[in-house]
């Protein structure tokens, strides 16, 4: 976890495989640019873009990078600092043959030599997942898995599409790289509010004694998006919301919220405790899974098409764009406390939040004065947007009699701090520092797929929901035995 100390970042070569892809233009380059702007990348560090396109050379790749950064709204003077002939280069991997990887290895050495680099290397796989094994093998066989400095391999999500493929990918990765060299990305772990979960829990003696089955009734984790599938149907049709969001982002947040206190604030103890949570989750009862797909509707007053009418989507597609799921963690801390995970595209509002519902007062002595339904206290952690948290409690409304009203203690990052860094900036810095805390371990990824693969093999019917709604009404039934509904976003 980056400690904010960016001094002394070691000069390195940052190699991006898949350099002409969408992720690089949208996320990676702007984040590298932000790091360069604040001199955090290491002043002599160099970026080498690698792509299958043979028509690019160093200069035409720089032209493309300038355009991507301009499209991301970055000012010209800053673009000039990032995209210079000393900083960015391009090498084609053409068809990805062993010969092509040998050429890449030769180019890596040449760029390092010309720029006086010490041999520290990041290989960032921003590639379509189906070519991960090929790329890892290509790098390994060309000897690019080691160098005279350090070598780190960053693998984008999705890591596998079920348990067997994740295990196979881990096997290939381990054939060529040590686990300590491998950084599996889940960008949710780089979000400040997600990182803050551990500090919130373990730096405040106030909350931890409440954080268990005696005091907590249920936990809700929601990641709601207004966006639809956009231009990503080719990927999304084969993925769906369970693979795209639940298996990784929401389950990561769940394991951070539910884990035991690690013995130290270090990568290994933290990652171990997270895996233990997954091992305690009971096999998922398919009755506790609701899947949906958006039909046409309105988002922010504008008509939007149904998922099946989006470009590249099959007219009879059964891909889910919404999932709600109820999990039970069978350990001493959480026995009997359901964890609800929910995500969807084209929902009513963009909002990601964690809601901790505390147990209600066992007896309502105010009944003669205010016979309202007994409320529980709740803690709502707003992951995004408008990051912060609210602690809800009951107060007496001033005046005669006893009227009880809900109020809250409120904290917002924007009222205290400068804009938060992009998750990718944090994660790139952590790779350069060699800190794997915020990355996904081999055992976590396999334990997570182990949990969800049976659901994928036995998917429930995918129900339609109107774009702009909160998903299929059936998702509410998951909470019905608790006498509550999903908490509305703040």
Residues tagged active-site: 249
**Token pair of 245, please?**
């969001």
Select 383 or 391, whichever has its Cβ closest to ligand BG6.
Answer: 383
**From 244, 273, 425, 430, residue interacting with ligand BG6 (rule: CB under 6 A):** 244
Residue closest to ligand BG6, measured at CB? 244
Question: Minimum CB separation from ligand BG6 for residue 173, in Å?
Answer: 20
Between 140 and 344, name the residue whose CB sits nearer to ligand BG6: 344
Two tokens, residue 431: 């790779």
Instruction: Pick between residue 244 and residue 273 the one whose CB is nearest to ligand BG6.
Output: 244
For residue 308, the minimal CB distance to ligand BG6 (Å) is: 18
CB 244 → ligand BG6: shortest distance, Å?
5
- Print the binding letters for residues 123-162 with ligand BG6: x by CB under 6 A, - otherwise: ----------------------------------x-----
Cβ atoms of 138 and 96 closer than 8 Å: yes
Nearer to ligand BG6 (CB atom), residue 142 or residue 241: 241
Tell me if 160 sits within 8 A of 348, measured CB to CB.
no
Burial class (CB in 10 A: 0-12, 13-18, 19+), 254: buried
Binding mask 170-209 for ligand BG6 (x = CB under 6 A): ----------------------------------------
Please state the closest distance from residue 209 (CB atom) to ligand BG6, in A. Answer: 32
Find the binding residues for ligand BG6 in span 418-457 (CB under 6 A): none
Cβ nearer to ligand BG6, comparing 144 with 250? 250
Q: How far apart are CA 381 and CA 193, in angstroms?
A: 8
Q: Does position 225 bind ligand BG6 by CB under 6 A?
A: yes
User: Per CB under 6 A, which of residues 349..378 are in contact with ligand BG6?
Assistant: none
Does position 387 bind ligand BG6 by CB under 6 A? no
Closer to ligand BG6 at the Cβ: 225 or 476?
225
# residues contacting ligand BG6 (CB under 6 A): 3
Nearer to ligand BG6, 224 or 258 (CB): 224
**Least CB distance from residue 157 to ligand BG6, whole Å?**
6
- Answer whether 338's CB lies under 8 Å from 217's CB: no
CA atoms within 13 A on the CB side of 376: 20
Q: How far is the CB of 249 from ligand BG6 (least distance, A)?
A: 6
Distance (Å, whole) CA 326 – CA 309: 30
In the numeric block, which tokens belong to residue 164?
């067997």
* In the complex, least distance from residue 32 CB atom to ligand BG6, rounded to whole angstroms: 18
Q: What is the largest CA-CA distance in the chain?
A: 85
State the binding string over 65-104 for ligand BG6 (x if CB under 6 A, else -).
----------------------------------------
22 belongs to the binding site for ligand BG6 (CB under 6 A): no
Contacts with ligand BG6, residue ranges (CB under 6 A): 157, 225, 244
């Amino acid at each position: 976890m980056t400690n904010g100390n960016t001094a002394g970042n070691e000069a390195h070569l940052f190699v991006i495989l898949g350099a002409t892809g969408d992720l690089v233009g949208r996320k990676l380059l702007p984040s590298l640019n932000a790091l360069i702007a604040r001199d955090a990348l290491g002043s002599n560090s160099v970026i080498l873009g690698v792509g299958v396109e043979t028509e690019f050379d160093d200069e035409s790749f720089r032209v493309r990078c300038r355009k991507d950064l301009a499209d991301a709204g970055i000012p010209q003077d800053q673009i000039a600092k990032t995209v210079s002939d000393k900083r960015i280069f391009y090498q084609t991997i053409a068809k990805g043959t062993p010969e092509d990887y040998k050429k890449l290895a030769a180019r890596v050495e040449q760029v390092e030599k010309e720029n006086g680099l010490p041999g520290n290397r990041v290989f960032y796989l921003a590639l379509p997942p189906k070519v991960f094994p090929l790329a890892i093998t290509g790098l390994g066989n060309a000897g690019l898995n080691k160098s005279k400095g350090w070598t780190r391999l960053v693998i984008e999500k999705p890591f596998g599409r079920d348990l067997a493929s994740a295990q196979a990918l881990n096997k290939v990765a381990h054939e060529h790289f040590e686990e300590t060299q491998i950084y599996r990305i889940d960008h949710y772990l780089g979000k400040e509010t997600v990182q803050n979960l551990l500090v919130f829990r373990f730096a405040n003696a106030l909350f931890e004694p409440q954080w268990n089955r005696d005091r907590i009734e249920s936990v809700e984790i929601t990641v709601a998006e207004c966006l639809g599938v956009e231009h990503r149907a080719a990927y999304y049709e084969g993925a769906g919301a369970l693979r795209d969001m639940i298996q990784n982002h929401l389950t990561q947040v769940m394991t951070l919220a539910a884990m035991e206190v690690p013995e130290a604030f270090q990568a290994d103890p933290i990652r171990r405790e997270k895996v233990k949570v997954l091992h305690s989750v009971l096999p998922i009862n398919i009755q506790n899974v609701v899947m949906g797909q958006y039909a046409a509707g309105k988002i922010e007053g504008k008509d939007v098409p149904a998922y099946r009418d989006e470009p590249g989507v099959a007219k009879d597609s059964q891909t889910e764009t919404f999932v709600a799921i109820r999990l039970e963690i069978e350990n001493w801390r959480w026995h009997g406390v359901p964890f609800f995970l929910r995500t969807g595209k084209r929902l009513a509002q963009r909002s990601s939040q964690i809601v901790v519902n505390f147990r209600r007062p066992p007896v309502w002595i105010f009944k003669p004065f205010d016979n309202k339904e007994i409320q529980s206290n709740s803690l709502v952690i707003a992951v995004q947007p408008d990051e912060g948290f609210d602690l809800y409690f009951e107060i007496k409304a001033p005046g005669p009699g006893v009227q009880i009203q809900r109020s809250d203690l409120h904290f917002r990052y924007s009222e205290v701090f400068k804009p938060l860094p992009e998750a990718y900036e944090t994660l790139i810095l952590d790779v350069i520092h060699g800190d794997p805390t915020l990355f996904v371990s081999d055992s976590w990824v396999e334990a997570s797929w182990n949990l969800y693969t049976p659901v994928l093999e036995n998917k429930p019917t995918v129900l339609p929901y109107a774009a702009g709604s909160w998903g299929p009404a059936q998702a509410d039934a998951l909470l019905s035995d608790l006498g509550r509904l999903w908490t509305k976003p703040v």
